[in-house]
Amino acid sequence: MVFSSLTFIYYFLPAVMLLYFFMPAKGRNALILASSLFFYAWGEPVYIVIMILSTAIDYTAGRFIAKYDNDNKKRTVFLVISVVMNISLLMVFKYGSFFIANINSIFNTSINDPKLPLPIGISFYTFQSMSYTIDLYLRNIKVQKSFAGFSAYVTLFPQLVAGPIVRYEHVANEIDRRTVNINKISFGIGKFIKGLAKKVFLANNIGLIWTQVKEMDYTEISAATAWLGILAFAFQIYFDFSGYSDMAVGLGKMLGFNFPKNFVYPYMSKSISEFWRRWHITLGSWFKSYVYIPLGGNKKGAARTIVNTLIVWLLTGFWHGASWNFILWGLYFGILIIIERAGLGKLLRKLPAPVCMLYTFLLVVFGWVLFDTDTLSGGIDYIRAMFGSSGVFIDSTAKYILGTNVFIYLAAVFASTDCFTKAVEKIRIKNPMAVRCAAPAAGIAVLLLCTAYLVNASYNPFLYFRF
């Protein structure tokens, strides 16, 4: 799917954009829908049926929810149909094997596991589609009467398979009426190139280190090797996912859509709570709106707030994948947030910012161990290795990794902060014409370098496609 998405972007997107700009406004949704279906079918020719089915059911449910606006019982029935259908798709295709394996293990049964392949992006498009019917039921939005318009929203190819999660209310006004001008196109191109550079130059290169370390025997690696490996993954997942989000926002802007931000320099956070206000923002917003607040949020006492927080974070972990590691990863962050709310947060606000940032980053790094090790025992072994369980602090492997990759680590640290953005802004204020003239040339150069890299690259994963 990675090759498919980049092939589509490089070879088909220019033609799509050209048609889009010269096409009458009424035909643009149809073009987006056709392009999105083609894009998805290119990498997922069979399971495109699942996405179309989900879209059709939610569209129909939405029409009936609007039709029976004065009959709450009927409106509720159609909302339940929509929610149950979307959750059922996730349960069957994403979590079926997990439940079957655990049932067989606990009850000593032998239920056959069909091991259905996971439809690409199912966690993203089901959440998007479901948010529409929920918001319609709550009367937060108006019904979308055009099937092409609603389908274009669900299948928007810029963010279809890896987010950000775009709720209908984010683009409700733009589905039927949106404008495209030179400023939006210019901003969109710049944002897209920025995201592509994150992905190609940073995520891919530093990700190679984690791929090598992850395959080693965790009981034998040195503490330094373990730290260098998981730090590599911490930067890989950030630049991979935020890079794709930037590309999606840029492409959306070129089409006239304003997608929400998904990342705001999360590794500069001074607490775990702040980190999750900066990381995968659209997912956190989704769970807050549709799970945490309906459960009562923090309005029903301290005990209920703790329970609601744990439920949200259990589901957040489970959303990412069907394994106990993901569940524990979610609960890990839920517990940390509860502890911060209980008083640690006040203490952190009194400490120097660098201390708080180090505290946050280290706890996030330990979380990434759970996130990307295959088993719970593997995660525990890896954390033990980080504390020197092998008896070796640094070995030749660690020295080689650091010696050959010191610049990529430094670049990753620098690029994960807002230092570069602030520096450019200062230059822009002092000499706006210089920035305005240099930006296009720099963008073209970066795009050409990224293209040259991708032509010869053998390692080019998109981590969030699996979710």
Which residue has tokens 């239920």? 111
Q: Which residues contact 191 (CB under 8 A, 6 or more apart)?
A: 246, 247, 249, 250, 253
Q: What is the Cα–Cα distance from 283 to 172, expressed in whole angstroms?
A: 19
Q: Determine contact, residues 446/5, Cβ cutoff 8 Å.
A: no
Helical segments of 259-323, H only: 272-278, 281-287, 293-295, 302-320
Both tokens assigned to 130: 């479901």
Burial class (CB in 10 A: 0-12, 13-18, 19+), 99: middle
Q: What is the Cα–Cα distance from 258 to 459, expressed in whole angstroms?
A: 31
- Report which secondary-structure segment, H or E, holds 36: helix 25-43
How many CA atoms lie within 13 Å of 19's alpha carbon, on the beta-carbon side? 14
Q: Determine contact, residues 247/158, Cβ cutoff 8 Å.
A: yes
Residue 320 known to be catalytic: yes
- The three-class DSSP label of residue 116 is coil
Q: Cα–Cα distances in Å, from 180 out to 173, 190, 244, 377, 458?
A: 14, 15, 22, 52, 36
Q: What is the Cα–Cα distance from 211 to 214, expressed in whole angstroms?
A: 5
Marked catalytic residue, from 320, 340, 370, 401: 320
Q: Which residues contact 223 (CB under 8 A, 6 or more apart)?
A: 385, 386, 387, 388, 390, 392, 393, 394
Positions marked catalytic: 320
